[in-house]
Amino acid sequence: MPRPGPALGSDDTGCPILHVDMDAFYAGVELRTRPELRGRPVIVGLSAGRGVVLSATYEAREFGVHSAMPMTRARRLCPQAVILPPSREKYAEVSRQVMEIFQSFTPEVEPIASDEAFLDVAGARKRLGRPAEIAAMIREQVAREQGVTCSVGVARNKFVAKLASRHAKPDGLFVVPADKVVDFLHPLPVAALWGVGERTERSLARLGIATVGDLAAVPVDTLRRELGQAAGTHLAELAWGRDDRPVTPHTPDKSIGAEETFATDIDDPVRIRRELLRLSERVAARLRGAGAVGRTISVKLRRADFTTLSRSRSLHDPTDVAKIVYDVACDLYTASGLENVPLRLVGVRVENLGPAEGATRQLGLGERETGWREAEQAMDRATRRFGRDAVLPASLIRPPFDGMEP
Q: Tell me: pLDDT of 69 over 50.
A: yes
Angle in degrees, 0-180, between the axes of helices 229-239 and 220-227, rounded to the nearest 10: 140
If you average pLDDT over residues 81-100, what whole number do you get? 92
**CA separation for the pair 164, 296 (Å, rounded):** 38
pLDDT of residue 251: 65
Q: Let me know if 42 is exposed, middle or buried by CB neighbors in 10 A (0-12, 13-18, 19+).
A: buried
250 — pLDDT class (breaks 50, 70, 90): confident
Q: Which residue ranges form the domains of the chain, and what is each CATH number?
A: 186-239 (1.10.150.20), 255-396 (3.30.1490.100)
Q: Tell me: pLDDT of 322 over 90.
A: yes
The CA–CA distances, whole Å, from 383 to 259, 264, 389 equal 21, 30, 7
**CA separation for the pair 112, 366 (Å, rounded):** 46
pLDDT of residue 304: 85
The residue from 30, 110, 116, 281 that is catalytic is 116
Q: Tell me: pLDDT of 195 over 90.
A: no
If you average pLDDT over residues 275-298, what whole number do you get? 91
Residue pair 351/313 in contact (Cβ under 8 Å)? The answer is no
Nearest to residue 312, comparing CAs of 347, 358, 362, 338? 347
Q: Tell me: pLDDT of 312 over 50.
A: yes
Q: Which of 76-80, 373-377, 392-396 has the highest mean pLDDT?
A: 76-80
If you average pLDDT over residues 17-31, what whole number do you get? 97
381 — pLDDT class (breaks 50, 70, 90): low
pLDDT of residue 368: 44
23 known ligand binder:
no
Q: Is the dihedral of CA 288, 333, 389, 394 positive or negative?
A: positive
Beta strand 109-113 pairing with 116-120? antiparallel
Neighbours of 263 (CB within 10 A): 17
21 known ligand binder:
yes
If you average pLDDT over residues 139-164, what whole number do you get? 96
Residue pair 44/57 in contact (Cβ under 8 Å)? The answer is no
State yes or no: is 198 an active-site residue. Answer: no
Ranking 43-47, 346-350, 358-362, 372-376 by mean pLDDT, the lowest is 358-362
What's the chain's Rg over C-alpha atoms?
A: 24
Ranking 159-173, 175-189, 194-208 by mean pLDDT, the lowest is 194-208
pLDDT of residue 100: 93
Angle at 349 between CA 342 and CA 30, to 5 degrees: 85
- Comparing 257 with 8, which gets the higher pLDDT? 257
Mean pLDDT for the chain?
Answer: 86
The CA–CA distances, whole Å, from 11 to 151, 181, 275 equal 18, 12, 54
pLDDT of residue 393: 56
- Comparing 200 with 57, which gets the higher pLDDT? 57
**CA separation for the pair 178, 17 (Å, rounded):** 11
Bridge partner list, 349: 257, 298
3-state SS class at 201? helix
**CA separation for the pair 291, 289 (Å, rounded):** 6
**CA separation for the pair 17, 354 (Å, rounded):** 30
**CA separation for the pair 365, 368 (Å, rounded):** 9
Q: What percent of the chain has pLDDT over 70?
A: 84
Nearest to residue 312, comparing CAs of 292, 335, 282, 288? 335
